[in-house]
């Protein structure tokens, strides 16, 4: 991949060897491959549109890794099923769709998420936070009132889950991870409160990522290196 251009959007939150494709509008349904269309044929129009567009983004990103066009179907837990040797993630929210993929041997898993930049619905913050996070969100809201920090936390935990799942094939609840958000550097760390996966003999106890909240969307991304680095 060329490094001569500035990466923006979710691409700016991930290493250069992760290919990202993103769109703010939907593509026609005829971009779906037959197997994909069969999986979504009875869904409501909005669901079909977002499904088609993230698959379109995925194929464009995969093509830059040298992969031919293939259907991107869903597993039993609705996770995208990638070609052999590829890890990746999909996301969509109102006005934004994206896919991130890589075949780098240095990356074991990647997760991305996009959310509309607005307050969480009533009651959601309480359901997705642990005690230390409540205090952190209160402090951040005072220091940086223009950012909807509950939405940043929600999105970051979604990215962590999408990174966790391919490594474990198990559920990770929002309260199974305690998030620390760095508002100055646009980073976050999710400390696992449950046993983590093992990679290369090392038990993973945290996931690191980056976030941005500009304009209409909150964007987050996390990835897990294949060779874990010990916490300082």
The pLDDT profile of the chain, 232 residues, written as one tens digit per residue, is 333 446 779 999 999 999 999 999 999 999 999 999 999 999 999 999 999 999 999 999 999 999 999 999 999 888 999 999 999 999 999 999 999 999 999 999 999 999 999 999 999 999 999 999 999 999 999 999 999 999 999 999 999 999 999 999 999 999 999 999 999 999 999 999 999 999 988 999 999 999 999 779 999 999 999 986 654 4
- Judge whether 164 lies within some domain: yes
pTM of the model: 0.94
- Judge whether 2 lies within some domain: no
Q: Residue 187 has what pLDDT? A: 98
- Judge whether 76 lies within some domain: yes
- Judge whether 229 lies within some domain: no
Residues 131, 86 share a domain: no
- Judge whether 157 lies within some domain: yes
**CA-to-CA distance for 190 and 133, rounded, in angstroms?**
11
Residues 15, 86 share a domain: yes
Residues 122, 202 share a domain: yes
Residues 135, 100 share a domain: no
Residues 57, 120 share a domain: no
- Judge whether 232 lies within some domain: no
Q: What CATH number does residue 104 fall under?
A: 3.90.470.20
Domain boundary pick from 90, 112, 134: 112
- Judge whether 219 lies within some domain: no
Domain boundary pick from 112, 129, 151: 112
Which among 127, 151, 153, 134 is positioned nearest to 217, based on CA atoms? 151
Residues 124, 108 share a domain: no
Domain boundary pick from 79, 112, 145: 112
Residues 89, 125 share a domain: no
Number of domains forming the structure of the chain:
2
Residues 100, 16 share a domain: yes
Residues 129, 174 share a domain: yes
One DSSP character per residue, 103-129 reads: --TTEEEEEEEEEESSPPPTTHHHHH-
- Kindly give the residue spans of alpha helices, DSSP state H, lying in the chain: 34-40, 45-63, 124-128, 131-143, 149-168
- Judge whether 221 lies within some domain: no
Q: Residue 4 has what pLDDT? A: 42
Residues 108, 54 share a domain: yes
What range defines the domain where residue 45 resides? 9-112
Residues 159, 97 share a domain: no
**CA-to-CA distance for 208 and 37, rounded, in angstroms?**
35
Q: Residue 230 has what pLDDT? A: 55
Residues 105, 18 share a domain: yes
For the chain, give the number of residues: 232
Instruction: Check residue 26 and report its DSSP letter.
Output: P
**Dihedral angle sign, alpha carbons of residues 132, 137, 143, 144:** positive
């Amino acid at each position: 991949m060329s490094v001569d251009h500035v990466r923006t959007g979710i691409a700016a939150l991930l290493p250069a060897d992760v290919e990202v494709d993103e769109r703010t509008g939907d593509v026609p349904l005829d971009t779906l491959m037959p197997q994909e269309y069969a999986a979504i044929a009875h869904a409501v129009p909005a669901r079909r549109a977002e499904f088609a567009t993230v698959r379109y983004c995925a194929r464009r990103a995969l093509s830059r890794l040298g992969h031919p066009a293939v259907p991107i179907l869903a597993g039993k837990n609705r996770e995208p099923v990638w070609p052999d040797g590829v890890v990746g993630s999909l996301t969509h929210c109102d006005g934004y769709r994206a896919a991130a993929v890589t075949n780098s041997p240095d990356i074991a898993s990647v997760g991305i998420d996009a959310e509309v930049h607005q307050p969480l619905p009533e009651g959601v913050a309480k359901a997705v936070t642990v005690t230390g996070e409540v205090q952190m969100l209160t402090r951040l809201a005072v220091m940086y009132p223009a950012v909807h920090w509950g939405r940043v936390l929600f999105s970051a935990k979604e990215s962590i889950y999408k990174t966790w799942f391919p490594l474990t094939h198990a559920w990770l609840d929002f309260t199974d991870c305690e998030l620390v958000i760095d508002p100055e550097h646009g980073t976050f760390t999710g400390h696992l409160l449950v046993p983590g996966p093992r990679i290369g003999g090392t038990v993973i106890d945290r996931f690191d990522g980056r976030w941005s909240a500009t304009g209409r969307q909150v964007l987050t991304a996390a990835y897990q290196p294949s060779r874990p680095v010990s916490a300082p």
